[in-house]
Structure 1
Amino acid sequence: MTISIARLTAKSGVKYLLKTTMHDDVPLTPSDATSYYMKAGTPPGRWIGSGLAGISRERLDPVTSDDATAVFTDADHPDTHQALGHHHGKTTIAHRNGEEIQRVAVAGFDLTFSVPKSISVLWALASRDEQQQILAAHHNAVDEVLEWLEESAIHTRTGRGGVAHVAAKGAVAAAFDHWESRARDPQLHTHVVIANRVQRATDGAWTTLDSRTLYKATVAASEHYNGLLFDRLQDRLGAVPGFRPPTSRVRNARHELVGVDNALIHEFSSRTHRIDEEKDRLVEAWTQEHGREPSPTVIVKLRQQATLSTRQAKGKDPLPLSDLAAGWRSRAQQLGFEPAHVVRQTINRSHERPVSTADLTGLWVTAAADATRQAVAQRRATWNRWNLLAEAERICAEIRCASPADRRHMLDAVTSAAEYQSVALNAYRYNVPLNASNDIAFAGHAVFEFPGARLYTDAGILANEQLVMDTRNDDGGPAIAPHLADTFLTTGDHSAGHLGLAPDQRAAAHEVLSSGRFLDAVVGPAGSGKTTTMAAIRDGWEQAYGPGSVVGLAPAAASAEVLGRKLGLAAENVAKWLYETVGQGAVHRAEQFLDLETANPASSWQRARTTQRMAALAMQHEQWQFRRDQLVIVDEASMVSTVQLAALVHQARDIGAKILLVGDPAQLDAIDAGGILGWLDRQGKAVQLTSVRRFSHEWEGPASLLLRVGDVAAIQAYATHGRFRHGDYVEMVDKAYEWWASDIQAGVSSILIAPDNETVTALNERAHAELVDKGTVDAVRTVRLSDELYAGRGDTVIARKNDRRLTDDSGDFIRNGTLIKITATPDRDGSVMGRRLDTGKSIRLSSEYLTESTELGYATTAHRSQGITVGTSHTLLTQGCLTRELFYVGMTRGRDMNTAYVCESSPASDDELHEVPESTWLEIIGEVLAAQGSERAAHEVRDEEQENAHSLHRLAAEYDYLAQLAAADDLRTAVDHVLPGLASILECSPSWGAGVAAWRRATAAQPRAATTTLEHTIRSPGDADDLMAVLHARLRLLGGSASDGLDDWLHEEFASSRPDLTEMISQVRRLAAGRVQELKMKVLAGTDPWTQRVDGTLPSVTNAIVRNALLEQIAIYRDRWQIGNDPEPLGPHPADYEWERANDRRQLEAELARLQSTVAARDGSTAVKVSVGAALTNVGWKI
């Protein structure tokens, strides 16, 4: 991704960016645009964005230290020093527990625009004039993307819970150009720091921007930047991009400039060059100290030392671009590339006319939109417009456009068509009145319905999900009689351990064996004995239906091999099965069979040969078919995509076989669109394994279950038992490695889990170096691996690709994830002999496989560790790198010990924007527990979106926003009636929003007294510093008690002259009234468990009308305050700060107590109405 995004805090702000700029002034006027070439450092920052008028700056004005401090650190106007909204660092209330905490404010967001590597290489080798053309193209693309973001993503939110999206007057941003990476490779990039302050277009008030939308838009912005940049480079230099396939397993396919060789890209993209330079320096120093050249073993140790030392931050002394460019050109020449020749073969290549809007046709747009939608649907169960925009840009990556406007028009056309082809999961609820003001309408819709938040799916995804659910509900499948299943599970084969099944395992096995459903699911947390349960099910099924009646499938070849070995059955990976049954394998066999069937052999022996081939093909076809009454176990089912599951279900159901899904949706998810197992689980359609048996320590099972659901109580449990260690990145990497190595040395099976591939590589290199030092690994004769490291005899490597051509001495093929110990020195052809660590079988790895698909196998990532059980696990945790699911996997691999090493500082980045730790170890773990990464089924998302959109919780917030607008209009009119022009002054007060809310309540309760109070306060202000604060305090005294109920805000009167506002209030009231009727019907149905609990507390003589009225009020309360599925009628007690909810609860509790009296229960009336409107009129919104 060529644009990354990171928060900048008020503590660190842009200090680093200012520190690296040139110390003397370098004007960025066109005539002096290359004057930075001979200066040390980078050019001064420049102001950009369309919101600069708010801070009295113009585009391209230099960013001074004082200006940056005022805007980013203090949130002040740089000239007047008036606050831009709230100052940073203000003490706030943590709504989780009401505790006052000092929060580090978010000062802004750093969007780093990095050109693709081939462009950096061209820029490094080009002349000064050509460099300037490339830099200008980059600047053009950056400016155009920021403009696009301002129109589509940079806005603000207001109202209760940010319910309304409101337009802003543009971004206030500072741009800083940088030339190099930490390794001092060419890396042209620009930091665009967007201030976390924008002005609302509605009233000019300063507020924070909507960062959630900005984050969602970043990937689309990145793809858009690529397209715009390549457009500008073709226009300025005639350079064209071309598709580059992945150069290794960990690198994605991408587009790079035609003419820039991959060898140059590699040279300037890898830390290898800097490591080699440092290693050579260390070798020379060692030689001088010892008087001889170091041995290969010592060289390995010196290279490891160089690897660690070059991970530190780049040099503090910036170099002039001229010096940097001279070094880059020298490196290219050493590699055999003449800089001028590279430039000549890269520029002036384009001979095609760029595309304009006039070239677009409806047919092309429809086809491109279809390709876009299909590509997104393959990877996601649900998506939004940002996902479609990003994919549309990828689809159009090789199309060059004449202008930014042409490109945007093309993308909008394709994306809008893809939206139309998709199935919307959340419908628009409001019809925006014509000529509606910008405080009601935004981006063509109501402010409550931002188009970028709309979610979509695909008709095919919905159909596949429904097929799986329908199959789960179909009880016409094969089964074992319940009494026979019970007999088997209680008196079965002792050697199989069935008598040792725990109650939950026995119950799960019994349910699967006897349910008669075509599909069942078993869900269990890590360590709950899923394999043991599957073994019991397999034995029971085969006892009833015979040997071979159970087959196994798994998402990966390695996990399929493990499943087959543990359960003693034939197992295959899902992709291979589908390839051979409905994919190209089946198609190829069918074509061969048809060719043979239509052939006309001339001789008898040819006819015999044809018959034999046809018989063999038919048998191959039969081998890849399910059988009637067969049980198909799909292990790790959460990692199987919806499309794959639907295909398996279709095959099984057609033939009369049963599917059993086994897994844990709280662990790793499918790479492609998934979420089925989690949906079945949350719908109560899965059998549960509840007891955790893996861990040696009794406390760890319950603690792991807390971790699984993201309960922060898990932190205390693990911390109490010393399972968390924390410190800076380097220290934690050292500690994790040392503890892991100690366990391995002691003969304990252990796993070392790193958060990213770079850390995995560093840990693997360290392990290799230490084994060389101990003499257990040969460092003289080695082979190069795909991770750019080397392995020798004694090293452990991991296979990263299935290859059915490479087989061990038992005939079994090599699988992705197989660990192999190299047992001999390399042969002349570069191949090596190794021993599989899982089976002990010998295998020869070819030189090609080693260099393309093999890595050192000491450390791993959490993604690769699922399914592994060892004695101890050691998991490195860095901020932002793991989801809850990945962390849970890492912390449940070990039976005896699972330890997390929390890095409170990140690895040194290319630009150290954060000079102090941003978060404590507790905060980092808390963020991980909150980062749920598993996908949800489209049906589930649709139901949730529709429920949330029509809930009283949502509608109350929307009504409050509109009512506040009406009350504000009324207050302005009243104030200006007393003293014309005063209202515009009072609106600038921080108390304006709360004052409007107080005015609204006071005029409803005592309108004449409210007007009198207003007049008196304005005419006799005294020495008040903030007249609005005084007015607010006095009006609050007139507001009276809480609202009498929902009816109050359904019929509240407003003195508004705005027809658009009146119409919107009417619409939200209609939606609320409809929701109330829906809740009443649900109460009458009596299906919710909480209604039964209420009935259990009421006397049997309770009047039915009274009872129903009470239940209706409780249902309104639950919907208003998002009680959810809590079986307690009133849910959990409100927190201290939730005083409105607490007031509602007290009224309902009083009514419940009253009705529990037999006399009151016979009374035909209720004494309470839930004050759903109380929260709406006590606190105003203004941020």
Structure 2
Amino acid sequence: MGADSDVRGIVDEAHQAAVSQALDYLSEHAGYTRKQVKEPAGKRLVVEKLAGISGVKYEHRTSRAGDPHVHSHVLLANKQLCRDGKVRTLDGVSLYHEARAAGMVYQATVREILSQKLGVEFGDVVNGCAEIVGLDDPELIASYSTRAREIDQWQADNGLETRAAYERIAQKITRRTKDTDTPLEELEIEWARAEHGAQVREFVAGLEPKNEADARESSEDFLPKPSQILAEVAAERSTFTRADVAEIVAELIRPGAISPEDMTVTVEGLVDAALAAHGTWSVTPEKSRELDSTQREGSQKYTTVEVVDEVERGVDMATARVERGVTAESIQPVEGELSPAQADAMRAVVGSDYLASVVVAPAGAGKTSSLKSAHHAWNMAGKHVIGLAPTGKAADVMVGENVADESMTIARAFVGTDDLIPEHTAVKLGWNRDTVVVVDEAGMVSNPDTIRVLETATAAGARVVFVGDPEQYSAVKARSGLLATLSHELPDAVELREVFRQRDAGEREASKWLRGGEEADVSRAAEWYMQNKRLHAGSVTAMMDDALAGWRDDTAAGKQSLLVAATRDQVTALNAAAQKIRAERGEINPEHRLGLSDGLTAGVGDVILTRRNDAKLVTSNGDVVRNGQRWVVDSIGKDGSITARRCDDDLATVTLNRDYLDKHTQLGYAATGHSSQGATVDVARVVAGVGNLDKSSVYVPMTRGREGNFLYIAETQPGDTETGHGQVSQIIRRESDEYARDLLVSAGMREQGDKTPQALFGQAKQDWELTKLVNQPSQTDTDNPFFGTDMGEYMRSFAAKREARFADFHARAQANNADEVPEPESGNEYSVTPSNDAVERIDAEIERVVLLQLGAGAK
């Protein structure tokens, strides 16, 4: 911090070199524009590669709050010079896709230079970033980046205008005008006098700048091998792009051996080697995109043969024939409790003779009510139902709602079984032929965990029922997508198509259109939301302010309203503002308050959110405290503890100790989209940034509310009003309903969730055939780019197995004189039409006890 000019110079050098490497990467992989070309059939939109990207860079040494923070603002021109001499708009899709990889290149370059020239060591790389060992004390970091400053930086990053409205958003936090008058020397003196200044000075004094030649070591031990790269990227995604591989490569490069100016070249070479390695398969061949010139570099997807084999193994186990123990014909629904289609669906699940069943359950489709009936039927047949879920909160609901006899998280179920064979795991878990395992929220379960459940069930002779929605969130940082593939491969997979949750019939339809993802359906959904005043668009400040205003009115009317935001910083700002509104109403005690882990405080009457499962914290009715649960603070103890009652159960109270409050709690008026999955409230108000929007991130939070769901789409403004970076302009269309509608249509057609290579191949092949039909109908089958590839040849046998499986199911169904027999080439999807009485009961949240009577035919 100024004590050693040589050290400061090296840090500056590292930053400048890293920015240069990151921009080189972006220029190569994100430099695209779009233009129209004339063809005999008319004009066609194509994507064209730019020769480079132009922009302007501003250098800074401090944060807005005056903390030490070397950084650059790089403003890319919206209009770029093309190869033909014309100026066109920079393609934002490509830029967004490659931005994270460019950031990883930046971080890797910084680590490389500081390691070589200062000898510093770095801790583990997490999400591309690593802390310097010796400067990684959380208290030290916090002292130079307090929560107030973090929110200030969040505000700056998102282009918030300085105006009175922000006071309602950030409570006591006010946006600082950047200090450009105080000399750097004076700031350095202030930093040195800070609480941890001596610790930093001592660390810097111990650094010894090195000669580059002395620092260089053999690169063999510092560069990742293709097998390691592929294992890392496949651990996070079933299918991946070149940019995904680049991110992993930059994370894996150990500092100390690469010339910094060669970082981008090194990353590129390692990426190429990984993609060319044996066992790497292209799911969407390069030639398959030639007919569609709107396709960008990031549209080509890859996988590994290990992932392909894993999915096929899962399908083979799930579709194995087993003794079901319950005949479908013996089950009759009690009139009035379930719709006929729901009863049909559950009859198919309980009566299936496959090892696994799949119930695709869109948001609000009444899966809990349906599964209660299956649970009762299994119990009557002497079966024991075990519930598994990816989260403790979801697992608890399964027992609480009478879906299972016992439940736990998947992680807890398989703890201590890593070294056991499936047969021994089954014995340890107590699974046998009389066990039925119901896996809820199965779309969020990773493929390896799904395989583990299937392997154990196979060894035990148990049955498995996967329940979830492939169109909602995937597993976090773990390859997934197997639920969707199983629903396609199992002949008797069922889908509950009717939505119950929303009281407005039009909104129920709109949610289904949004979930479908096809352009026509998404457009219909967006039109409905616009016509019914559910869509808003504008700057971040305006959208957060409007969402808060709506939340204020909702809660004043006695409604349960939930704010949803894309990032934790936005959630924190919304929580602070919502708390202020409640304090002004006198609904919370402003006197005695305790700090939470989000940097805010809570008093009696506040709503808080617990962020970690803790088996040691047990409620008055015996439940364990779970991540994602919301609580109302009833009292504050002298020892700094809090006594709270759960929002969804007044009888469940718990005392949260000081340590838990400090580490694992936040205010609970707002939540991220992932945290909101599974919640049901009266009204949901969703603030989403354009860059974060895709189908699942809109569909999930926009189906939380019974009475209404509102979307506030926030666009960051170009430039920075307080530093003069760029020219900030207001565009009226950004505030229009029509503009919001168009943004929603674009987001609803964008899918970022993980898919298995089998599913992605089928979709890509279908898209290619449609494009071929439109553009080049005269092409022959020998021109098919999918023919002859590793993935293409594999899919021939995979598809043949599916055809045989469906033909066998069709033949057996006909032999059994089934009333409804699905065609061999399609799954069996049940369309659910609920009665008015059923809708009213669900809307009123009256627990329904659903009984299915078991006849004499049960075994």
Same fold (TM > 0.5): yes
Distance 2:552 2:287 in 1: 62
> What is the Cα deviation at residue 560 of structure 1?
0.4
> What is the Cα deviation at residue 952 of structure 1?
8.0
- Partner of residue 174, structure 1: 56
- Partner of residue 455, structure 1: 301
Instruction: Give the secondary structure class of the aligned counterpart of 2:499.
Output: coil
Give the letter aligned to residue 131 of structure 2.
Answer: H
Pairs within 5 Å for 1:704-1103: 704-710=511-517, 711-725=522-536, 728-828=539-639, 830-839=640-649, 840-903=651-714, 913=726, 914-917=728-731, 919=734, 920-946=739-765, 951=769, 953=771, 1046=778
> What is the Cα deviation at residue 895 of structure 1?
1.7
Conserved 8 A contact 1:332-1:339: no
Q: Is 1:530 matched with 2:367?
A: yes
Q: Is 1:137 matched with 2:14?
A: yes
Conserved 8 A contact 1:381-1:674: yes
Identity of paired residues, percent? 25
Say which of 375, 381, 402 aligns to 2:238.
381
The 3 A distance-change label for structure 1 pair 1072 and 648 is closer
The 3 A distance-change label for structure 1 pair 240 and 198 is farther
Pairs within 5 Å for 1:254-403: 254-256=130-132, 258-259=134-135, 262-272=138-148, 307-308=170-171, 310=173, 312=175, 315=177, 319-320=180-181, 323-327=183-187, 329-338=189-198, 341=201, 344-345=204-205, 347-348=207-208, 359-360=219-220, 368-403=225-260
Conserved 8 A contact 2:387-2:398: yes
- Partner of residue 505, structure 1: 342
> What is the Cα deviation at residue 854 of structure 1?
0.9
The 3 A distance-change label for structure 1 pair 169 and 720 is closer
Distance 1:796 1:264 in 2: 30
Distance 1:199 1:736 in 2: 41
The 3 A distance-change label for structure 1 pair 903 and 385 is closer
- Partner of residue 1100, structure 1: none
Say which of 92, 101, 114 aligns to 1:220.
101
> What is the Cα deviation at residue 391 of structure 1?
0.9
Distance 2:121 2:264 in 1: 16
Give the letter aligned to residue 13 of structure 2.
Answer: A
Conserved 8 A contact 2:167-2:173: no
Say which of 102, 105, 122 aligns to 1:242.
122
Conserved 8 A contact 1:552-1:634: yes
Distance 2:150 2:458 in 1: 59
> What is the Cα deviation at residue 643 of structure 1?
1.0
Pairs within 5 Å for 1:16-95: none
Give the letter aligned to residue 243 of structure 1.
Answer: G
Conserved 8 A contact 1:385-1:419: no
The 3 A distance-change label for structure 1 pair 173 and 561 is same
Say which of 551, 561, 567 aligns to 2:386.
551
> What is the Cα deviation at residue 787 of structure 1?
0.1
Distance 2:712 2:319 in 1: 45
- Partner of residue 1027, structure 1: none
Conserved 8 A contact 1:244-1:256: no
Distance 2:446 2:786 in 1: 41
The 3 A distance-change label for structure 1 pair 1074 and 861 is closer
Say which of 358, 364, 370 aligns to 1:521.
358
Distance 2:537 2:296 in 1: 41
Pairs within 5 Å for 1:1135-1150: none
> What is the Cα deviation at residue 899 of structure 1?
2.6
Conserved 8 A contact 1:652-1:658: yes
List runs of 5+ in structure 1 lacking aligned partners: 1-121, 277-302, 432-440, 442-446, 493-497, 591-617, 960-1044, 1051-1067, 1089-1124, 1126-1183
Distance 1:324 1:211 in 2: 36
Conserved 8 A contact 1:304-1:769: no
> What is the Cα deviation at residue 638 of structure 1?
0.7
Give the letter aligned to residue 751 of structure 2.
Answer: Q
Distance 2:215 2:786 in 1: 52
Conserved 8 A contact 1:522-1:688: yes
Instruction: Give the secondary structure class of the aligned counterpart of 2:637.
Output: coil
> What is the Cα deviation at residue 574 of structure 1?
1.3
Q: Is 1:565 matched with 2:400?
A: yes
Distance 2:93 2:169 in 1: 40
Distance 2:27 2:459 in 1: 53
> What is the Cα deviation at residue 199 of structure 1?
5.3
Give the letter aligned to residue 799 of structure 1.
Answer: T
Q: Is 1:576 matched with 2:409?
A: no
Distance 2:319 2:45 in 1: 38
Report which stretch shifted further, 382-391 or 738-747.
738-747
Give the letter aligned to residue 387 of structure 1.
Answer: D
Distance 1:406 1:482 in 2: 62
- Partner of residue 456, structure 2: 651
Conserved 8 A contact 1:553-1:635: yes
The 3 A distance-change label for structure 1 pair 423 and 955 is farther
> What is the Cα deviation at residue 938 of structure 1?
1.5
The 3 A distance-change label for structure 1 pair 923 and 416 is same
Report which stretch shifted further, 842-851 or 555-564.
842-851
Instruction: Give the secondary structure class of the aligned counterpart of 2:451.
Output: helix
Name the Cα RMSD after superposition. 4.4
Instruction: Give the secondary structure class of the aligned counterpart of 2:183.
Output: helix
Conserved 8 A contact 1:876-1:902: yes
The 3 A distance-change label for structure 1 pair 804 and 1072 is closer
The 3 A distance-change label for structure 1 pair 907 and 268 is farther
- Partner of residue 297, structure 1: none
Instruction: Give the secondary structure class of the aligned counterpart of 2:186.
Output: helix
- Partner of residue 506, structure 2: 699
Distance 2:648 2:459 in 1: 37
Conserved 8 A contact 2:80-2:88: yes
CA deviations on 1:402-430 (whole Å, 9 max, x unpaired) are 44337744772476146515431347678
Give the letter aligned to residue 707 of structure 1.
Answer: L
- Larger RCO, structures 1/2 (Cα 8 Å, 6+ apart): 2
Give the letter aligned to residue 687 of structure 1.
Answer: V
Conserved 8 A contact 1:234-1:350: no
Give the letter aligned to residue 22 of structure 2.
Answer: V
The 3 A distance-change label for structure 1 pair 340 and 756 is closer
The 3 A distance-change label for structure 1 pair 631 and 261 is closer
Give the letter aligned to residue 191 of structure 1.
Answer: H
Distance 1:862 1:850 in 2: 22
- Partner of residue 628, structure 1: 433
Distance 1:528 1:952 in 2: 32
The 3 A distance-change label for structure 1 pair 308 and 530 is same
Q: Is 1:678 matched with 2:484?
A: yes
- Partner of residue 690, structure 1: 497
- Partner of residue 54, structure 1: none
CA deviations on 1:353-402 (whole Å, 9 max, x unpaired) are 777685427xx86x643332222112101112322221122122444534
The 3 A distance-change label for structure 1 pair 307 and 872 is closer
Distance 2:267 2:215 in 1: 9
- Partner of residue 819, structure 2: none
> What is the Cα deviation at residue 512 of structure 1?
0.8
More strand by share: 2
TM-score (norm 2): 0.77
Distance 1:649 1:803 in 2: 28
Conserved 8 A contact 1:258-1:346: no
Q: Alignment length, in residue pairs?
A: 759
